[in-house]
Every structure is written in structure tokens, then in C-alpha cells.
């Protein structure tokens, strides 16, 4: 496995080191190449994602990213120039965000019940395309626009991915989340696409919910969801609510996937670079290890993925919540269990 | 007070009756005119909001709406043709959504702490304007767009309203919620506007959060918020999360406000018409009564509003959760307390 590793900034390198430790345990054939990208490189050189680096990344089977960001970098720079650039250039049209409440994890809900859902968020369209502009800036007549672009091509492929994911799961249920009663143009395309693709998957039961209602039910009754498919912006929001109710972003893994296999897919913990705790060995690497699990699963290494996930599940169920997390210790435990 | 009442469909008329009962108790000078609008009228006559009715509504001091909707009406019809039409025609640029966890109310969170926030959501711009379209419908080359429109005029007035609201509250804190790192055009306008207006309100502390992070913190730490100001679509989502963590939409009140006073403002419970329980006297009218409180407050009838809110707070703190709600009984109790 040719793996590109982008440790990034802050706690990124610390959690990635543990992810690689666990990966090395289950997959001895990993050839990892590290790439220096993120806030530090930008601050040093002004570079975000040089074309030559992007070309090199394309030559890998997958990418593992830690986290990028630093308070010294203005908001939007790394997002547009690196993170979203990677998603768009590598056609990561599926943003996969599982949210499972593991045994031993105490979330914020008094009675969460069993929660085990997967958000399948579109990754290359919607309001994220950067289309829009500003007219008469800094005048009382300023107008700022943001255009959400949604294509049959783009919606269909992510909807299809979601149905295929639902088929592999015991509950075989899929919920489309959108705001079709207000965003009628895009909403109609999404609804019609789900309806059409659903005819190919008669075993999947399909539901629809407006994003505001879903956001509420994610809190009051998250157990009702299995697979969710939604647009880029709604997915950004609801997958974070899903993470919140299943123990927080410290445990949330994600995949940015080109389902066609043309480009390498990228896996990363959802949390940021957390500069306030960087270098102290306090960061929880569990989300990174779960991201390694998604990576293995994506590459068809089902048995290796199963080992990684089982190690995490066992470790979480036996952790002493009173003990502060030590990054390397968690990694050691998970590597030993995997 | 010339009050226009739109009872609507389903449980709408039931909860509105109780709202009027309580209103009559504290404000004996109410002259209420009822308007038949909603699913039933549309199904009977094809009419949503005739111009003549809209003109009559304009002649009132305020509007109280129950809820509209019926499973027999296709999604989007009442939203675009009635609810959003009212907001746009009556220039309801402030959508006010308080969320307070009352004593005696058990929400879904294990340890919510004190929650008392007000979402100030923009109501006449953003992705709600209906701008956009569909090209090559029902072909593999279909493109659907949604355009978010944000003007300096529109953003400034709602931001100003939010600061003025924050001034009246003990914590004097305001959080802008947006997604400035991705929606850079609109985000920049919102950020700059908050920064500019904040110079006029030196006593208000200001924070910014991305909508995905805010959605998470609404669940994990809702007590940190005081006043939130945000765009139309983000406000739709996060105010529903706020409602969820403070006991659900059964208790959530809202105001659609023209802060200039040119047009009557409209107040309504956030819940829908709930056709499944309509006519059974089971609907909780509390959200409608709280909406009456917002209405009174908006009209400057501070003391009357205080009485209504105090009645609700007392009633909730002494309710027997094991007893099922009876609509008229709750209304009677609140009217007696007010
Ligand atoms: C960092 C940001 C651009 C990104 C997003 O909005 O997609 C993040 O919030 C995420 O969910 O991966
Ligand atoms: C019914 C719908 C159009 C409306 C909205 O999206 O604004 C509702 O969800 C609300 O929050 O008032």
C-alpha cells in the first residue's frame, strides 16, 4: 500500500503517529511517504498545495491526514487552498462520516439508546463550490452571493454510494436530508434522484426529512437513523451533530472518497489541530485510528479494518474515564489489541 | 390592539384558542379578526394568500398564527405561497427564536446546565429568496442552482436588532454563526457588518462560530450562548437544535418581526399542524402562549408580556410530567395564573 501521509499542524503529527502505529500492526505492507502541508508550510513558504505535490499525491493508494490549522493563519486560507482544494482536485465526492455510540462512551444525551449511523455527505458540489461574489463591497449597497450548484451527475453518484452502503448494513434504511420545501430547485433534483435510484434497491426503506427536523431528531432520537445522504453544507452541519451525540469530535472519523477509484481517497479525524494542547501528548488519537479503519475498509482490506475497529471498540469499553488520555499510550494499547 | 388571527390547520385552531384565552386575560383591549388561511382553504379554493387578505392583514398591529399544513398538500406549496410569502411581503427580516430551559422541563441532555439564549435569524434573504433554477430537467445533464442573496442593508438591520437585544440581557454577549471559511463572499459581509455595528455597542462581547461547530456546542454546551445572530438557513437549523435541547418544539415560540414597525409582525409556535393529534384536545398550547408573550413584548406591552411568561414558567415548574397534557386545561391554568 502506497500511503501518502499529511501530518499537518498542532496535534496532527501526534495523532497520525499513533494511526500509523496501529496501521503498521495490521498491514505490514505500508509504504508511507510524508508530505509537509498545512499552516506551518504556508507561513514558511506561502505555499498551500503546489501542483507538484498534488501530482505526487495522485500516485498513492490513499492519503492519511492529521489536522491543519494555526491561529496565525487567516480563516479560509487553508480551507479553500488546501482542504477543499484536495476534495475538488481529487474528486472526493463522498464525504463519509460514521457516528456510532461505542460502549463505554458517555455522550451528552441522557438516554441516547443505540446510535449507529453513517452520514454520506456530498463533497464536491452544493454551496461549497465557491461560486458567488461581492458587488459594491464596503458600501451600503453591497450585495454578496453564494451559489449552490447541484448536478444530476454529482447527486446521482453520491446517492448511489449511499444506497450501496445501506445494502451492507443490517437495518437497510436510508434517509435523505434536505430542505426541499424551501430550496425547491436543488431539493427537487435530490428528491427525484433518490426516488429513481431507490427503484434499483427495493430492499432499502427510504425516508425524507427536512434538515431542521433532522437536526432536532439527531438530538432527541438519534437511534432512528441508519444511512443518511445529504448535500455538502447540510452534511457538514448534521454530521457534526451526529459526532456531538456520540461522544464528540475526539472520536469522529471521516473519509473523503472518490468512489470511482480514479484518485486516492483521503481519511482524517474530524477534529482540528488544537494548538492549545499540541506537543503535550494529551490528544486522543482514537479518531485517527478509526479513520485508518475507514481507509482499510475503503481499500477492500475488510479483515484489517475489522481488527482496527474491534481494537477501538474494546479499548473504549474498558477505558477509565478518570484517567487523562496519553496519546502514545492509547496508540500502544490499540496497536497491541489490533 | 387590532390582532389578526390565523388559526390554520390541524392543532392550530386548538392552540390559538388557548393563546387568545391567556391574551384576553392580560390585555382586555384586544380586537381579534380571524382569517381562514392554510391547507384547508387551499384544498377548498386553491387560494393561498389572496392580495385582499394580505392588504387586510397589513391593517393590524400584530398577527398570531397557529400552524398550517396537511399531508394532502404537496410540500412547498404552503411554505412558498403562504408562510414565506408573509415573511417577504411583510418584510419580517427578524426571525426571533428564544430557547430557554425552564425549571421543571426535562430535555434530552444529561447535564444541560442553565440554557437561556435567543436566536436572531435573518428572515428575508439568504438561500430563502427562491433565486435559482433548473436546467435540462430530467436529463443526465440536469443542473439545479440555489442562490443565497445577502445585502448590506439586509444584514445590517438584523445584526443591529441582535445587538439591541443583547443590550437588554444580563450577559450582554453576542455570537455570530456563519460558515465564513467556506461561504467567503456572504461570510465576509456578515463578519464585517458585525464588526462595524459592534463599535456602537462597546458593552457587548462578541464571538464568532462556524455553523458546524455551533451545532455541536448547542448540544454539548448550550449554556454558553446568549444572543446568536445568523443567516436565514443557518438560523432555521440551529434554532431547531436550540428548541430540541430546551424541551422540544412543543415549547418553542417564534416571532417574525418587521423591526421598522411598518408592517405587523407575526408570532407563532414553531411546531406544525400535527394532524395526527388534531381535534383530540391533546396539543400543548404552551408554545403558542409563549408566542403571545413575544407578541406583547414586541408591542411594548412589557408588563403584560411579563405576566404571560411568568405564568408559563410557574406552570411548567409545577406540572406533573406523568399527567398527559389537555389543551384547554393548560390554557385555563395559564389564564388563571397570568
Ligand atoms: C474545514 C472545513 C472546510 C470543513 C468543511 O466545512 O467541510 C470541515 O468543517 C469538515 O467538516 O470537514
Ligand atoms: C416551514 C418552513 C418554511 C419554515 C422555515 O424553513 O423557515 C420553518 O421551518 C421555520 O423554521 O419557521
> In ligand 1, which atom is closest to the CA atom of A87?
7
Residue ranges per structural domain of chain B: 1-93+253-338, 108-245
Distances (CA, A) of B261 to A297, B58, B103, B199, B265: 59, 11, 34, 25, 8
Nearest ligand (C-alpha, residue A267): 1
- SS3 sequence of A88-151: HHCCCCEEEEEEECCCCCCCCECCCCCCEEEEEEECCCEHHHCCEEEECCCCCCCEEEEEEEEE
Catalytic annotation present for B212: yes
A249 near B CB under 8 A: yes
Name residues whose C-beta falls within 8 Å of residue A49's C-beta, 6 or more positions apart in sequence: A37, A81, A82, A85, A86, A89
Characterize A276-315 residue by residue with b for buried, 16 or more Cβ atoms within 10 angstroms of its Cβ, and e for exposed. Answer: eebeeeebbbbbbbbbbbbbbbbbebeebbebbbebbbbb
Q: Is the CB of B213 under 6 A from ligand 1?
A: no
pTM, rounded to two decimals: 0.97
A147 near B CB under 8 A: yes
Question: Which of A21, A100, A165, A179 is the catalytic position?
Answer: A179
Residue B67 and residue A274: Cα distance in Å, rounded? 45
pLDDT at residue number B249: 85
Q: Is the CB of B79 under 6 A from ligand 2?
A: yes
Per-residue pLDDT tens digits for B74-133: 999 999 999 999 999 999 999 999 999 999 999 999 999 999 999 999 999 999 999 999
**Interior angle at CA A208, CA B127 and CA A94, nearest 5:** 75
Residue A25 and residue A5: Cα distance in Å, rounded? 17
pLDDT at residue number A321: 82
Per-residue pLDDT tens digits for A14-56: 999 999 999 999 999 999 999 999 999 999 999 999 999 999 9
Host H or E run for residue A185? helix A184-198
Residue B35 and residue B57: Cα distance in Å, rounded? 9
Catalytic annotation present for A332: no
**Which CATH superfamily does the domain covering B108-245 fall into?**
Isopropylmalate Dehydrogenase (3.40.718.10)
Which percentage of chain B shows pLDDT scores above 70?
100
Rg of chain B taking only CA atoms, in angstroms: 20
Give chain A's mean pLDDT: 97
pLDDT at residue number B250: 86
CA distance B301 to chain A (A): 32
Considering only the top CATH level, what class is A1-93+253-338? alpha beta
Q: Check if A1-93+253-338 and A108-245 are the same fold.
A: yes
C-alpha cell at B179: 460558515
Residue nearest to atom 11 of ligand 2 (CA): B236
Distance of CA A77 from the midpoint of ligand 1 (Å): 13
Contacts of A109 in chain B (CB under 8 A): 108-110
Q: How far apart are the first and last CA of chain A?
A: 18
- In eight-state DSSP terms, residue B275 is G
Distance of CA B125 from the midpoint of ligand 2 (Å): 13
Amino acid at each position: 500500500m502506497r500511503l501518502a501521509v499529511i501530518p499537518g499542524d498542532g496535534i496532527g503529527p501526534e495523532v497520525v503517529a499513533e494511526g500509523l502505529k496501529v496501521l503498521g500492526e495490521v498491514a505490514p505492507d505500508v509504504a508511507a511517504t510524508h508530505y509537509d502541508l498545512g499552516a506551518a508550510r504556508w507561513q514558511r513558504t506561502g505555499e498551500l498545495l503546489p501542483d507538484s505535490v498534488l501530482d505526487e499525491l495522485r500516485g498513492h493508494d490513499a492519503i492519511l491526514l492529521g489536522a491543519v490549522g494555526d491561529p496565525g493563519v487567516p480563516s479560509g486560507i487553508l480551507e479553500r487552498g488546501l482542504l477543499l482544494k484536495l476534495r475538488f482536485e481529487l474528486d472526493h465526492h463522498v464525504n463519509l462520516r460514521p457516528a456510532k455510540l461505542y460502549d463505554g462512551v458517555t455522550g451528552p444525551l441522557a438516554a441516547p439508546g443505540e446510535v449507529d449511523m453513517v452520514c454520506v455527505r456530498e463533497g464536491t458540489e452544493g454551496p461549497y463550490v465557491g461560486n458567488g461574489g461581492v458587488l459594491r463591497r464596503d458600501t451600503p449597497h453591497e450585495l454578496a452571493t453564494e451559489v449552490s450548484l447541484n448536478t444530476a451527475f454529482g447527486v446521482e453518484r453520491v446517492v448511489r454510494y449511499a444506497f450501496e452502503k445501506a445494502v451492507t448494513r443490517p437495518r437497510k434504511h436510508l434517509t435523505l436530508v434536505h430542505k426541499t420545501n424551501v430550496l425547491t430547485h436543488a431539493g427537487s433534483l435530490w428528491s427525484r434522484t433518490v426516488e429513481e435510484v431507490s427503484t434499483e434497491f427495493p430492499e432499502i426503506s427510504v425516508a425524507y426529512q427536512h434538515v431542521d427536523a433532522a437536526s432536532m431528531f439527531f438530538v432527541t432520537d438519534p437511534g432512528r437513523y441508519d444511512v443518511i445522504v445529504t448535500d455538502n453544507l447540510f452534511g457538514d452541519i448534521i454530521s457534526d451533530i451526529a459526532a456531538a451525540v456520540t461522544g464528540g469530535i475526539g472520536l469522529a472519523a471521516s473519509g473523503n472518497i472518490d468512489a470511482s477509484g480514479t484518485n486516492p481517497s483521503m481519511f482524517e479525524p474530524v477534529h482540528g489541530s488544537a494548538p492549545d494542547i499540541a506537543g503535550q501528548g494529551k490528544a486522543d488519537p482514537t479518531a485517527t485510528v478509526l479513520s485508518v479503519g475507514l481507509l482499510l475498509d475503503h481499500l477492500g482490506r475488510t479483515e484489517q479494518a475489522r481488527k482496527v475497529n474491534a481494537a477501538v471498540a474494546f479499548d473504549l469499553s474498558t477505558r477509565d474515564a478518570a484517567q487523562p488520555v496519553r496519546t502514545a499510550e492509547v496508540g500502544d494499547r490499540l496497536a497491541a489489541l489490533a
